[in-house]
Amino acid sequence: MNVQTPPQKLQAKDYVTDQEVRWCPGCGDYAILKAVQRTLVELQVPREKTVFVSGIGCAARFPYYMETYGFHTIHGRASAIATGVKLANPELDVWVVGGDGDTLSIGGNHTLHLLRRNVDVQLLLFNNEIYGLTKGQYSPTSRPGTRSPSTPYGSVDNPINAAQFALGAGARFVARSSDILQKHLPEVLKRAHAHRGASLVEILQNCIVYNDGAFSHFTDKGVQADMQVHVEHGQPLIFGNNSDKGLRFTADGLGLEVVKIGEGGVAKEEIAVHDEKNRTLAFLLAQMQPPSFPVAMGVLYNDPAAPYDALVWAQAETAKKKNGEPDLAKLLRRGHTWTVA
Amino acid sequence: MADSAAVDERGAGGRRELDSAVVRFAGDSGDGMQLTGSQFTLTAALAGNDLATFPDFPAEIRAPVGTTFGVSAFQINFGARTIKTSGDLLDVLVAMNPAALITNVADLKPGGICIVDTGAFNERNLVKAGYKANPLEDGSLTEKVRLVKIDMSRLTLEAVKPFGLSQKEALRSKNMWALGLVYWMYGRDRQATVKWLEGRFKGKDDILGANVAALNAGHAFGETAEMPAEMSTFTVPAAPIAPGLYRTVTGTDAMAFGLVAGTRLAGLRMCFCSYPITPASSLLHALAPLKEYDVLTFQAEDEIAAVAAAIGASYTGSLGITSSSGPGVALKGEAIGLAVAVELPLIIVNAQRAGPSTGMPTKTEQSDLYQAVYGRNGDAPVCVLAVSSPSDGFDVGMEAVRIATKYMTPVIVLTDGYLVNAAEPWRLPDVTKLAPIDVRFRTEAEGFHPFLRDQATLARPWVKPGTPDLIHRIGGLEKSYDTGHISYMPANHQRMTDARVNKILGIANDIPEQAVDNGSEGGRLAVVGWGSTYGPISRAVDNMRRAGKDVSHIHLRHIWPLPRNLGALLGSYDKVLVPEMNKGQLLTLLRAEYLVAAEGLNKVNGKPFLIIEIEAAIARLLGE
Q: Do A331 and B471 touch (CB under 8 A)?
A: no
The residue in chain A having the minimum alpha-carbon distance to the alpha carbon of residue B321 is: A84
More confident residue, B140 or B366: B366
Q: Average model confidence (pLDDT) for chain A?
A: 96
Q: In whole angstroms, give the CA distance from residue B217 to residue B183.
A: 11
* Per-residue pLDDT reduced to its tens digit, B99-117: 999 999 999 999 999 999 9
Q: Give A304→chain B minimum CA distance, Å.
A: 22
For the cut 90, the answer to whether the pLDDT of residue A1 exceeds it is no
Q: Which residues of B touch A339 (CB under 8 A)?
A: 243-246
- Please tell me which of the candidates A68, A80, A92 has its beta carbon nearest to residue B316: A92
* Per-residue pLDDT reduced to its tens digit, B313-360: 999 999 999 999 999 999 999 999 999 999 999 999 999 999 999 999
Pairing state between β B295-299 and B523-530: unpaired
For the cut 90, the answer to whether the pLDDT of residue B261 exceeds it is yes
Which ipTM score applies to this complex? 0.97
Instruction: Read off the pLDDT band of B3 (50, 70, 90).
Output: very low
Q: In whole angstroms, give the CA distance from residue A72 to residue B450.
A: 14
Confidence (pTM): 0.93
Q: Which residues of B touch A73 (CB under 8 A)?
A: 308, 311, 338, 475-476
**What are the residues whose beta carbons fall under 8 Å from the beta carbon of A6, sequence distance 6 or more?**
none
Share above pLDDT 70 across residues of chain B, in percent, rounded to a whole number: 97
**What are the residues whose beta carbons fall under 8 Å from the beta carbon of B270, sequence distance 6 or more?**
B259, B260, B263, B287, B293, B294, B295, B296, B318, B319, B321
Share above pLDDT 90 across residues of chain B, in percent, rounded to a whole number: 91
Q: Which residues of A touch B193 (CB under 8 A)?
A: none
Chain length of chain A: 341
Instruction: Read off the pLDDT band of B230 (50, 70, 90).
Output: low
Instruction: Read off the pLDDT band of B388 (50, 70, 90).
Output: very high
Q: Do A336 and B42 touch (CB under 8 A)?
A: yes
Q: Give A294→chain B minimum CA distance, Å.
A: 36
Q: Do B292 and A80 touch (CB under 8 A)?
A: no
- Count the Cβ atoms, other than its own, within 10 Å of residue A157: 11
Q: CA neighbours within 13 Å on the CB side: how many for A31?
A: 19
Taken in order B283, B284, B286, B291, the sign of the CA dihedral is: positive
Residue B194, amino acid: V
Let me know: does A65 contact A56? Beta carbons within 8 Å: no
- Alpha helix segments (H runs only) across B441-582: 490-505, 534-546, 566-571
Instruction: Read off the pLDDT band of B61 (50, 70, 90).
Output: confident
Q: How far, in whole angstroms, is CA B372 from its chain's centroid?
A: 18
Let me know: does B359 contact B347? Beta carbons within 8 Å: no
- Please tell me which of the candidates A316, A335, A341 has its beta carbon nearest to residue B296: A316
Average of per-residue pLDDT across A164-184 = 98
Q: In whole angstroms, give the CA distance from residue B155 to residue B159.
A: 6
Q: In whole angstroms, give the CA distance from residue A282 to residue A278.
A: 6
Let me know: does A104 contact A165? Beta carbons within 8 Å: yes
Name B298's bridge partners: B273
Q: Do B428 and A47 touch (CB under 8 A)?
A: no
- Best of B249, B292, B302, B395 to disrupt the A interface (most A CBs within 10 Å) is B292
Q: In whole angstroms, give the CA distance from residue B332 to residue B346.
A: 12
Q: Do B470 and A48 touch (CB under 8 A)?
A: yes
**pLDDT of the residue at B4:** 42
**What are the residues whose beta carbons fall under 8 Å from the beta carbon of A99, sequence distance 6 or more?**
A57, A58, A59, A60, A125, A126, A127, A128, A132, A139
Share above pLDDT 70 across residues of chain A, in percent, rounded to a whole number: 98
For the cut 80, the answer to whether the pLDDT of residue B7 exceeds it is no
Nearest CA among B375, B376, B323 for reference residue B351: B323
- Best of B246, B273, B291 to disrupt the A interface (most A CBs within 10 Å) is B291
Average of per-residue pLDDT across B170-183 = 97
Q: Which residues of A touch B80 (CB under 8 A)?
A: none
Query: Phi and psi of A79, rounded to 5°?
Result: -65, -35
Instruction: Read off the pLDDT band of A6 (50, 70, 90).
Output: low
Average of per-residue pLDDT across A149-174 = 98
Q: Do A336 and B257 touch (CB under 8 A)?
A: no
**pLDDT of the residue at B10:** 37
Query: How large is the C-alpha radius of gyration of chain B?
Result: 27
Instruction: Read off the pLDDT band of B14 (50, 70, 90).
Output: confident
- Please tell me which of the candidates B45, B269, B486 has its beta carbon nearest to residue A88: B269
For the cut 80, the answer to whether the pLDDT of residue B584 exceeds it is yes
**pLDDT of the residue at A3:** 58
Greatest distance between any 2 Cα atoms in chain B:
87
Q: Do A328 and B318 touch (CB under 8 A)?
A: no
For the cut 50, the answer to whether the pLDDT of residue B12 exceeds it is no
**pLDDT of the residue at B38:** 92
Residue A61, amino acid: R
**pLDDT of the residue at A205:** 98
**What are the residues whose beta carbons fall under 8 Å from the beta carbon of A332, sequence distance 6 or more?**
B247, B257, B428, B429, B431
User: Which H helix or E strand runs over B597?
Assistant: none
**pLDDT of the residue at A4:** 61
**pLDDT of the residue at B63:** 80
Q: In whole angstroms, give the CA distance from residue B119 to residue B223.
A: 21
**What are the residues whose beta carbons fall under 8 Å from the beta carbon of B523, sequence distance 6 or more?**
B550, B551, B552, B572, B573, B574
Q: In whole angstroms, give the CA distance from residue A72 to residue B338.
A: 10
* Per-residue pLDDT reduced to its tens digit, B503-543: 999 999 999 999 999 999 999 999 999 999 999 999 999 99
**What are the residues whose beta carbons fall under 8 Å from the beta carbon of B232, sequence distance 6 or more?**
B16, B113, B185
Average of per-residue pLDDT across A301-317 = 98
For the cut 60, the answer to whether the pLDDT of residue A117 exceeds it is yes
**pLDDT of the residue at B6:** 41
Average of per-residue pLDDT across A50-64 = 97
Let me know: does A340 contact B242? Beta carbons within 8 Å: yes
Q: In whole angstroms, give the CA distance from residue B311 to residue A83.
A: 10
Residue B499, Cβ density class (10 Å: 0-12 exposed, 13-18 middle, ≥19 buried): middle
Which bin fits A32, alpha (ψ -120 to 50), beta or left (φ > 0)? alpha
Average of per-residue pLDDT across A314-327 = 96
Nearest CA among B327, B320, B268 for reference residue B303: B327
Q: Give B378→chain A minimum CA distance, Å.
A: 14
**pLDDT of the residue at A5:** 64
Q: Do B308 and A77 touch (CB under 8 A)?
A: yes
- Alpha helix segments (H runs only) across B166-204: 167-171, 174-185, 191-200
Q: In whole angstroms, give the CA distance from residue B385 to residue B394.
A: 12
From residue B289, how far is each of A113, A337, B279, B283 by CA, in Å?
Answer: 23, 20, 19, 11
**pLDDT of the residue at B395:** 98
Q: What's the CA angle centered on B423, arms B418 and B424, to 5 degrees?
A: 125
**pLDDT of the residue at A2:** 56
- Best of A16, A17, A49, A89 to disrupt the B interface (most B CBs within 10 Å) is A89
Q: Average model confidence (pLDDT) for chain B?
A: 94
Q: Which residues of A touch B296 (CB under 8 A)?
A: 87-88, 312, 316
**pLDDT of the residue at B2:** 40
